Amino acid sequence: MKIVLPTLHVRRSPQAVPLAAASLAATLANRPEHSTLLLDFYPDQAVEQLAAEILATAPDLVAFPFYSWNRTTLLAVGQTLKARRPELLLVAGGPDATADPHGLLADGTFMAVIRGEGELTFTELIDLLGNGNELRPLAGLSLRTAEEIVDGPERPPAAPEDLPSPWLTGILDPVDGVLWEVARGCPFDCSYCFDSLGSRQVRKFPLERLAAELDLFAGANIAQAWAIDSSFNVPAARGRELLALIAERAPALHVHLEARIETIDDATIRLLANISCSLQIGLQSIQPQVLRAIRRPVNLSLYQKVLPALNSAGVSFGLDLIYGLPCDSLAGFRASLGVALDFVPNHVDLFPLAVLPGTRLFDEIDTYGLVAESSPPYTLQSSQDWSAADLARAAEIAAATDLFYNQGRAVGLFATLLQVTDLEAVPFLEGFADWLLLEQGVFRTVLLAVDLWRPEEILPMQEGYIQWLLQQRERNDLLQPALDLLRYHFHYAETLLGPETPPAEEAPPEEAWTQPWCLAPHAQLVPFAYEVINLLEMGEFDLEEFAELFRPVGSVALFLRRGEEVICESLEEDALNLLRHSDGHRTPEAIFAGSVPREAGEEILYFAIAEGLLLPAMGWGETT
């Protein structure tokens, strides 16, 4: 059989890795009579295009992983495929299919739905069909017959050691970012989630497999990996084993980890500080009645102990909050966000409650008066605790937080901005949303579409809001220091997260003085009102003290990344003149004519070339 496994990703990103589909394909790696093909699709592609690309592969069977974000589109793709090739076998799997198998089978487009973890059921299904047998309700399979929908018995999950790795079998090739599966299941039973699948068991992949995968990632020079275990550090000893393994096998790899606060101990923090990583920790709410309602017991004192320790150790971490939870309110959400920001996380991710089919909360709709969308993404629309207006306001606060604090790279100066504007964190961010909507005329739909904002749009909005706040308070004396501080933090973070500017590998050519050059694409020239060196030397920053000590003499800083280090240098006039005017047309000879002697100019030029700041104009456009 020719089997096609298309994945419709949530967005184009290094995380768009078809891990679920590849895990199914890996189970057939030792069956040469079957061929598998992975296809990657994205939301900006039309249904007709997806269907045409699938049909162009001449498949015998197509199996789709269904998630809340792609269900509607994939149903339309399936209907299109069925209309054009009625004999084509269509199978659905994934979280959304597991939660609602009968819904996906209702219109007859799909012949079968794989429930739960799919490898064993998928392999048995392919063997059954490949041998010419009629389809029957296998364990873990729901199917539609001519008369009814039939559910096969539940299938116990496979032992992790029996599952082949899609990375080690070569089904997936590590190219950019990677998804790294370290375990399955969850020991907790939060009512809005079905990660535990009702068993509350965690099944760990063998360390030997994980070590071999890390070796593969390191050998391919992969920059970052996302560990998709929702609680890598449960139990704590297992978390420490994984961190030690990462440090040993892939020390240059940046790993994104999700963690439970209960098992982040001092030893774990020391290991986290020893690797390149970022930690995501669920807080969801600080309200005790809310946490009881969602069956998520949390001891807030643990956050008060652990999060400052992570900051002190230099471990980057983010916090998750959900708005719309049962027994919560808009005021309660504001309070939770305020506490979260007090912990100085690297970022705060704020999500609306989704009432997902298959979760305990879905079964408690009547208990809490939950009114949610009946189709993906199943977002809450109102409840006995939340009006539609309150949810809309929470969405505006969430968007403002993402734009100003997260994407605006404001973590390092946020406390200073609060101090000079005499505002608490949540009123500050709420005011940013109102300023955008009321003062700037930004449409609400544009504000909420946070993924579509570009960095070059966000910084001017931040600057405009700070200017407006300080003018309202008649503190124009602090305006330029505040804008310089904002600009520095923004460009520092953008440089750190952006591509490296490596030094030149070859000596400058003899004709360097008379040929045109271009500024390296990832080196930034950023103007400041003050001397940027003074900003760097202030340490614990106080805007009022800075304004008293220094005068706005002006400077232009060069930002670039070299390895894991961000270099920020204030440029002398002649060096700035060369870099600013190296536009691919003018030569250093022309740029320095009449202002700098050739010997001095060549010294500046050769240094800039050696440091990778200038690239030859000829051929540069084809390589960037």
The pLDDT value recorded for residue 199 is: 59
Domains in the chain, CATH or no CATH each: 2-151 (3.40.50.280), 174-386 (3.20.20.70), 500-623 (3.90.930)
Residues whose CB falls within 8 Å of the CB of residue 123, separated by 6 or more in sequence, listed in order: 27, 28
Does residue 539 carry a pLDDT above 70? no
Query: Residue 23 — very low, low, confident or very high, per pLDDT cuts 50/70/90?
Result: very high
Q: Tell me the per-residue pLDDT of 246-305, one tens digit each, with 9 for 90 and over.
A: 999 999 999 999 998 988 999 999 999 999 999 999 999 999 999 999 998 888 899 999
If one compares 189 and 90, the residue with the highest pLDDT of the two is 90
| Per-residue confidence (pLDDT) for residue 189, from 0 to 100 | 84
Candidates 98, 37, 36; CA nearest to 65 is 98
**Helix pair 119-130, 19-26: axis angle to 10 deg:** 50
Average pLDDT over residues 470-490: 94
Mean pLDDT of 349-377: 93
Please provide the average confidence, as pLDDT, over all residues in the chain: 93
pLDDT digits over 116-147, tens only?
A: 999 999 999 999 998 888 889 999 999 998 88
* pLDDT at res. 506: 86
Contact indicator for 231, 188 with CB cutoff of 8 Å:
yes
- How would residue 621 be classed by pLDDT, with cut points 50, 70 and 90? very low
39 neighbors 6 (Cβ within 8 angstroms): yes
**Overall average pLDDT of the 408-429 stretch:** 94
Record the tokens describing residue 335, joined without a space: 């309070």
Q: Other CB atoms closer than 10 Å to residue 201's CB: what's the count?
A: 12
What is the pLDDT confidence band of residue 622, given thresholds at 50, 70 and 90? very low
pLDDT band at 558 (very low <50, low <70, confident <90, very high): very high
Question: CA-to-CA distance for 16 and 186, rounded, in angstroms?
Answer: 23
The pLDDT assigned to 304 comes to: 94
pLDDT tens track for 73-121: 999 999 999 999 999 999 999 999 998 999 999 989 999 999 999 999 9
Give the mean model confidence (pLDDT) for residues 339-348. 96
CA 214 to CA 209: how far, in whole Å? 9
